[in-house]
């Protein structure tokens, strides 16, 4: 069976510090991978998606970047965090064969 | 740009009641529509998925309908239980988008004993 992991679960960072959130998927190959952010009072916003290693599409201009160094690894990064980067970050995977997406447990980020 | 709206934003009902959650979307060109459940501080769990060619899907006490031409979907929960308390999210999958989903803001449901 497939599983998706995210870490850390919770993170408190000062403004201006760097960020690295990691997502890994087990039990499947060549998945589509997604990063979403859920901010207070807002719906889930798609940040990035990837259909293969090194292939990243960005949905909104922002202070964040994403990378996919391995088939089942997806990383969300920032060089300098802003207060507005606070939120709940969710990683998900899907595929051409799977109609739905499967979500990880999320990382709660608080920027102070 | 696809906009997904969910009404109501929050709902509180006594245990045993039947209830309806609403979802509307602005662009009828969708690939499918899904309903997810999110418990506080957790990830999302898919409940029901309706293909664009389908009218409804059922799973246990849950029934979701889709009227693509009018841009509406409803999630019907029968005989609600306290364990149903969660946020319910509606999401549409546009065609040719890298299979990314457009989410509504969700309906926060509280079922009281």
Digit-coded pLDDT (tens) for A9-46 = 999 999 999 999 999 999 988 899 999 999 887 789 88
| Residue B57 in contact with partner chain A when CB distance is under 8 A | no
Lowest mean pLDDT among A37-46, A76-85, A92-101, A103-112: A92-101
Structure tokens of B109? 């449901």
Six-digit token string for B59:
């799973």
Peptide bond into B97 cis (omega under 30): no
Minimum mean pLDDT range among A32-41, A58-67, B79-88, B92-101? B92-101
To the nearest whole angstrom, how far is the Cα of A91 from the nearest Cα of chain B? 9
Facing residue for A99 by CB, picked from B4, B32, B105: B32
Going by their DSSP bridges, the two strands B19-25 and A44-52 should be labelled as unpaired
- What does each C-alpha distance from B81 to A95, B73, B87 come to in angstroms? 33, 22, 14
List CB contacts of B1: < 8 A, sequence separation 6 or more.
none
Query: In the structure encoding, which two tokens stand for residue B78, read together?
Result: 């029968």
Q: Which of A44, A51, A103 sits opposite B98 (nearest CB)?
A: A51
Q: Per the structure block, which two tokens stand in for B20?
A: 């309806």
Structure tokens at A8: 């850390």
Distance, CA of A87 to CA of A80 (rounded, Å)? 15
Nearest CA in chain A to B101: A46
């Amino acid at each position: 069976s497939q599983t998706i992991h995210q870490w850390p679960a919770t993170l408190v960072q000062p403004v201006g510090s760097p960020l690295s959130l990691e997502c890994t998927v087990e039990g499947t190959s060549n998945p589509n991978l997604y990063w979403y952010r859920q901010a207070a009072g807002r719906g889930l916003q798609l940040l990035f998606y990837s259909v293969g290693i090194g292939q990243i599409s960005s949905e909104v201009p922002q202070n964040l970047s994403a990378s996919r160094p391995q088939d089942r690894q997806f990383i969300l990064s920032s060089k300098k965090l802003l207060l507005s980067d606070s939120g709940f970050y969710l990683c998900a995977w899907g595929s051409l064969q799977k109609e739905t997406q499967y979500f990880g447990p999320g990382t709660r980020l608080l920027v102070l | 740009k696809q906009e997904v709206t969910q009404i109501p934003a929050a709902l509180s009902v006594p245990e045993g009641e039947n209830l309806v959650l609403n979802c509307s979307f602005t662009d009828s060109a969708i690939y499918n529509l899904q309903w997810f459940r999110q418990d506080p501080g957790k990830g999302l769990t898919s409940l029901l998925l309706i293909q664009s060619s389908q009218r409804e899907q059922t799973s246990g006490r849950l029934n979701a309908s889709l009227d693509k031409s009018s841009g509406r979907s409803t999630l019907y929960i029968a005989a609600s239980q306290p364990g149903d308390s969660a946020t319910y999210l509606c999401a549409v999958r546009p065609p040719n988008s890298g299979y990314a989903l457009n989410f509504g803001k969700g309906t926060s449901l509280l079922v009281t004993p």
